[in-house]
A and B are shown apart, each in its own frame.
Chain A
């Protein structure tokens, strides 16, 4: 079950976001319950008077997880590249979850700016995790500029809808067999995570689905089990779907009254 993610050998295929939790303690407990070894993190401008965020940062550091900084809030390649460079300085990692938003209504990625930023950052030695749609051509282009990991959405960020384009996600996985594909955004329930893992996706990133659950720590555990279950099912090989029924119980040597029924 171990998972090689950008040269880090991980036991968990679940990545946890760190936003929207009711408290830093609940976040910390949820990370532990999830078994995740990678957490996402963001940055904000800090004015001298404020010291908010220190408790959160303390808990994240104490978790021992690998950090995956994001470029949330960026709308152009220029902004995202600047944010990524700051993140590398602040967090001491070359991993970057590249987000370039192109639409306010559904927080859909801007594919054009995303590709420009990805190309620049890959050349600068970043390990770029681009947040993208399930569009095959965009994903192909992102791989062409040096990305090895892609993060297609299941649905708009925070919607909890689960996969809205099942066909698109299925075809993407089938056609990009060598890429690391991690579903990001729109996952609402553990069953959604399990479904995409059964398709052969390499991992899942969840945030709102855990943080906004009535019991986030319990939900983190549920997601952990769902991701493991989905992965095991993928490795085991799900049986092919059939249009017609097929008896699971052999009908030879059945009791006499069933034989009589057949004679009629």
Chain B
């Protein structure tokens, strides 16, 4: 297992897990999120090929009300 951070919280995942697999396992609707890894945005078309590495900091954001 390797450790990453999701929105600031530590998560343990299997090595070579892709971002798409990670989001799917956690039940995210990928059409409703944007993701940055280590403060770099990951385009949706790269979710399936983007592997997570130990120590990665993953931020997942969704729309919310705003003025």
Chain A interfacial positions (CB closer than 8 Å to B): 17-21, 27, 40-48, 53-54, 56-57, 60, 69-70, 72, 82, 85-87, 89-91, 157, 205, 207-208
Residue of B28, B43, B64, B66 with most chain A CB atoms under a 10 A cut-off: B66
Residue of A40, A48, A54 with most chain B CB atoms under a 10 A cut-off: A48
Of B43, B61, B66, the contact of A18 (CB 8 Å cutoff): B66
- What DSSP secondary structure best describes chain A's contact surface? mixed
Within 8 A of A (CB), among B10-67: 26-28, 32-34, 36, 39, 41, 43-44, 59-67
| 20 A-B contacts (beta carbon < 8 Å) | A18-B66, A43-B64, A44-B62, A45-B8, A46-B33, A46-B60, A46-B62, A48-B28, A53-B64, A56-B63, A56-B64, A60-B63, A70-B67, A82-B36, A86-B36, A86-B61, A89-B44, A90-B61, A205-B67, A208-B67
Which residues of the partner chain A approach B43 to less than 8 Å between Cβ atoms? 89
Chain B interfacial positions (CB closer than 8 Å to A): 6-9, 26-28, 32-34, 36, 39, 41, 43-44, 59-67
Residue of B9, B36, B61 with most chain A CB atoms under a 10 A cut-off: B61
Whole-angstrom distance between the alpha carbons of A42 and B44 in the complex?
19
Whole-angstrom distance between the alpha carbons of A70 and B63 in the complex?
11
Of A48, A60, A90, the contact of B26 (CB 8 Å cutoff): A48
B38 to chain A, nearest CB (A): 11
